[in-house]
Amino acid sequence: MKVGVVSIVGRPNAGKSTLLNSIIKEKVAITSNKPQTTRNNIQGIYNDEDSQIIFVDTPGIHKPKNKLGKYLNRESYSSLEGVDLVLFMIDSSAPFGKGDEFVLDKIKEENINTFLILNKVDKIKKDELFNMILEYKDKYDFKEVIPISALKEKNIDELLKTIKEYLDEGERIYPEDYYTDKSIKFLVSELIREKVLRKTREEVPHAVTVVIENFEEKKESILINACIIVERDGIKKILVGHNGEMIKEIGIDARKDIEELVGKNVYLDLFVKTVNNWRDRDKYLVEYGFDENNFE
Ligand SMILES: Nc1nc2c(ncn2[C@@H]2O[C@H](COP(=O)(O)OP(=O)(O)OP(=O)(O)O)[C@@H](O)[C@H]2O)c(=O)[nH]1
Ligand SMILES: [Mg+2]
């Protein structure tokens, strides 16, 4: 049996989380068209009869502009330690930029087998892809160059097959029915955050944090109280919306996804809270799962 850990890295918005979900066939990681959607390394565990592959989805690596950015990069870099293989993902519909260079420089520092994954090929023409492969292949000693569409699930089987060729024989690390290292509570808070990111525009910064304050499991239903923490009253106003319309929509969308996840009826109560200073916000962030020592 082939067993190994494979880290997916790339600049924000490349499609890393979309790939993880399409491999695992469950919604393990949230996705949005806004950069810096993912905040924590998330394991998705792929199982079949002859392999167990632990994929690690990571926050997009970028030139950090603030403390959160630094935290996100550190989280991603840590995913490179001790892995068997790295998937360096780029968005093939965008030109190779400083952002990709920045990630590649980091990969060069490590000495790990790396595949170049050209994602979003559904958005480009065949000859463009061909030129792109020529352009990229000399940038580093990539073990393989694989074009895919994570969204349209194109070439994913080929990718899995090739990955297996690079992994060692071993025993399963997790039980066969495990598909993520994250708790249900974490997944729930992420689904809510996803709806916030998807429903709002750029004016709502990425520093929105969701904390599950109460999670009460009954026989046929689950009662959830969740708090969306923001830094300014202005943001709170946007999230609540006119007559509470926005928060209602976020709640309806999130509830649908959560019900699918838990397979029970869900009663979701959302409220928005402004936290004005860093100390208070950090308290929530730590509770939410950020590592206190890393978030300076
Ligand atoms: N057309 C197309 N869009 C894609 C593809 N893969 C991902 N996307 C879209 O690209 C956007 C970003 O996808 P994510 O999976 O959130 O990207 P990410 O790399 O995880 O981003 P961060 O977590 O911010 O680093 C979303 O709107 C996806 O639907 C693809 O193969 N084709
Ligand atoms: Mg992501």
Q: What is the CATH number of the domain that holds 34?
A: 3.40.50.300
pLDDT at residue number 292: 39
Residue 294 lies in a domain: no
Picking from 169, 192, 209, the residue at the C-terminal end of a domain is 169
Q: Are residues 280 and 252 in the same domain?
A: yes
Q: Are residues 17 and 54 in the same domain?
A: yes
Tell me which residue range forms the domain holding 259.
Answer: 184-288
**For residue 92, how far is its CA from the centre of ligand 1 (angstroms)?**
12
Residue 40 lies in a domain: yes
Q: Is 31 in the pocket of ligand 1 (CB under 6 A)?
A: yes
CB 205 within 8 A of CB 37: no
Q: Is 92 in the pocket of ligand 1 (CB under 6 A)?
A: no
Residue 178 lies in a domain: no
pLDDT at residue number 284: 60
- ∠ CA 268-288-67, nearest 5°, is 130
- Phi, psi of 93, deg, nearest 5: -90, 0
Q: Are residues 101 and 35 in the same domain?
A: yes
Q: Are residues 31 and 138 in the same domain?
A: yes
Percent of the chain with pLDDT over 90: 74
pLDDT at residue number 169: 98
Residue ranges in the chain assigned as alpha helix (H): 16-24, 67-78, 98-109, 126-137, 156-165, 184-199, 233-240, 245-262, 278-288
Number of domains observed in the structure of the chain: 2
Q: Are residues 10 and 122 in the same domain?
A: yes
* 96 pLDDT tier (thresholds 50, 70, 90): confident
Residue 235 lies in a domain: yes
Q: Is 151 in the pocket of ligand 1 (CB under 6 A)?
A: yes
pLDDT at residue number 293: 39
CB 253 within 8 A of CB 195: yes
Q: Are residues 56 and 143 in the same domain?
A: yes
**For residue 150, how far is its CA from the centre of ligand 1 (angstroms)?**
8
Q: Is 99 in the pocket of ligand 1 (CB under 6 A)?
A: no
Q: Environment class of residue 156 by beta-carbon count within 10 Å: exposed (0-12), middle (13-18) or buried (19+)?
A: middle
The atom number, within ligand 1, closest to the CA of 30 reads 16
Residue 175 lies in a domain: no
Residue 179 lies in a domain: no
For 155, the token pair is 């070439």
H/E stretch holding 14 reads none
Residue nearest to atom 8 of ligand 1 (CA): 15
Residue of 7, 8, 9, 18 best suited for mutating to test ligand 1, as the one with most atoms within 8 Å of CB? 18
- Phi, psi of 214, deg, nearest 5: -150, 135
Q: Are residues 132 and 216 in the same domain?
A: no
Q: Are residues 82 and 226 in the same domain?
A: no
pLDDT at residue number 70: 87
Residue 174 lies in a domain: no
Residue 238's CATH number: 3.30.300.20
Q: Are residues 147 and 221 in the same domain?
A: no
User: Mean pLDDT throughout 75-100?
Assistant: 92
Q: Is 149 in the pocket of ligand 1 (CB under 6 A)?
A: yes
Picking from 169, 194, 220, the residue at the C-terminal end of a domain is 169
Q: Is 147 in the pocket of ligand 1 (CB under 6 A)?
A: no
Checking if the pLDDT of 64 tops 80, the result is yes
For 69, the token pair is 């950015």
Q: Are residues 154 and 191 in the same domain?
A: no
**What is each CA distance from 60 to 89, 117, 201, in whole angstroms?**
10, 15, 19
pLDDT at residue number 281: 61
Q: Are residues 101 and 128 in the same domain?
A: yes
Task: Report pLDDT digits (tens) over 138-195.
Answer: 899 999 999 999 999 999 999 999 999 999 999 999 999 999 999 999 999 999 999 9
The atom number, within ligand 1, closest to the CA of 31 reads 16
Picking from 169, 202, 225, the residue at the C-terminal end of a domain is 169
Percent of the chain with pLDDT over 70: 92
* Helix, strand or coil, per DSSP, at residue 89: strand
Q: Are residues 147 and 255 in the same domain?
A: no
Residue 177 lies in a domain: no
**For residue 49, how far is its CA from the centre of ligand 1 (angstroms)?**
29
Q: Is 123 in the pocket of ligand 1 (CB under 6 A)?
A: yes
Q: Is 44 in the pocket of ligand 1 (CB under 6 A)?
A: no
pLDDT at residue number 287: 55
pLDDT at residue number 2: 97
* All residues with CB under 5 Å from ion ligand 2: 16-17, 37-38
CB 44 within 8 A of CB 24: yes
- The residue that leads in pLDDT, 204 or 132, is 132
In 3D space, the residue among 205, 185, 186, 227 whose CA is nearest the CA of residue 67 turns out to be 205
Residue of 22, 31, 197 best suited for mutating to test ligand 1, as the one with most atoms within 8 Å of CB? 31
Kindly tell me the sign of the dihedral angle through the C-alpha atoms of 254, 260, 261, 264: positive
Q: What is the mean pLDDT of the chain?
A: 90
Checking if the pLDDT of 295 tops 60, the result is no
Task: Report pLDDT digits (tens) over 220-255.
Answer: 999 999 999 888 888 899 999 999 999 999 999 999
